[in-house]
């Protein structure tokens, strides 16, 4: 079995890669740190992914960021900054979309395959009861729509494949360190096991869905 992990140097991506290797999978890991992969630059995405050969049974897009360029999540609409919001969309929505565009050829048509993109529950419009975090929330909501739309297209040509958005929970990484507050956290290793357990149960019937780390659907 082969897996491609995009964002393999991050907390969750690296933990998933390790867990898959322990399961004796062949893992190809790509990241900005190790490979110069900048998901906000399509030329970079095309160059790095263009060098990858073959197809994969699992593709995980584990890129993203909460604080970008030192801009903290907004507490209210008064804190909105256009440039900061554009950066959120570039990294958390457009970046994964570009990755999906360039990994399409790596999804096998003749057997089951799973493609997962890390999203976040705060991207749920229906679940938003606290407000704030406008840029990050909106970018993740856009990402969810991208996943849903791409899943519709994927089903037409890859009927045995599934493409889903996943909420990993609050994971103890550098991304969440300053914002976990009183929320319970899990280690990256535990998060990886949770996500892989969900992916084991995912099939074509779940394609285009948004699931949390327990495998429960998250409302849009």
Domain CATH code at residue 55: 3.40.50.720
Q: Could you give the CA distance from residue 104 to residue 113 in angstroms, rounded to a whole number?
A: 11
Any domain includes 97: yes
What pLDDT, on the 0 to 100 scale, is given for residue 128?
Answer: 87
Assess contact for 73 and 136: CB atoms under 8 A. yes
What pLDDT, on the 0 to 100 scale, is given for residue 176?
Answer: 60
Query: What is the mean pLDDT for each group of 10 consecutive residues in the chain (220 residues)?
Result: 97 97 98 97 98 98 94 90 96 98 97 97 91 95 98 98 96 68 83 97 97 96
Any domain includes 207: yes
Any domain includes 218: no
DSSP conformation letters of 152-176: HHHHHH-TTEEEEEEE--SB-STTT
Any domain includes 127: yes
Any domain includes 151: yes
Any domain includes 217: no
Any domain includes 219: no
Q: Could you give the CA distance from residue 188 to residue 127 in angstroms, rounded to a whole number?
A: 24
What pLDDT, on the 0 to 100 scale, is given for residue 177?
Answer: 60
What pLDDT, on the 0 to 100 scale, is given for residue 185?
Answer: 85
Q: For the chain, what is the domain count?
A: 1
Task: Give the global pTM.
Answer: 0.94
What pLDDT, on the 0 to 100 scale, is given for residue 159?
Answer: 97
Any domain includes 71: yes
Q: Could you give the CA distance from residue 157 to residue 153 in angstroms, rounded to a whole number?
A: 7
What pLDDT, on the 0 to 100 scale, is given for residue 178?
Answer: 62
What pLDDT, on the 0 to 100 scale, is given for residue 182?
Answer: 61
The domain in which residue 125 lies consists of: 2-212
What pLDDT, on the 0 to 100 scale, is given for residue 174?
Answer: 65
């Amino acid at each position: 079995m082969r897996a491609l992990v995009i964002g393999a140097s991050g907390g969750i991506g690296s933990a998933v890669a390790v867990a898959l290797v322990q399961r004796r999978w062949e893992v190809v890991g790509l990241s900005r740190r190790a490979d110069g992969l900048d998901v906000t630059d399509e030329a970079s995405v095309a160059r790095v992914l263009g060098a990858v050969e073959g197809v994969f049974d699992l593709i995980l897009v584990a890129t993203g960021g909460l604080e970008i360029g030192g801009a903290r999540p907004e507490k209210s609409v008064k804190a909105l900054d256009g440039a900061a919001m554009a950066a959120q969309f570039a990294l958390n929505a457009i970046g994964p979309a570009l990755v999906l565009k360039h990994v399409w050829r790596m999804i096998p048509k003749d057997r089951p395959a799973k493609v997962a993109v890390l999203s976040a529950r705060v991207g749920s419009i229906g679940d938003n009861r606290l407000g704030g975090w406008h840029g990050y929330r909106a970018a993740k909501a856009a990402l969810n729509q991208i996943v849903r739309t791409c899943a519709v297209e994927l089903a037409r040509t890859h009927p045995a494949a599934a493409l889903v958005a996943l909420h990993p929970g609050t994971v103890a990484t550098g991304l969440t360190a300053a914002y976990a507050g009183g929320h319970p956290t899990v280690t990256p290793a535990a998060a990886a096991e949770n996500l892989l357990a969900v992916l084991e149960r995912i099939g074509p019937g779940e394609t285009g869905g948004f699931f949390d780390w327990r495998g429960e659907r998250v409302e849009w």
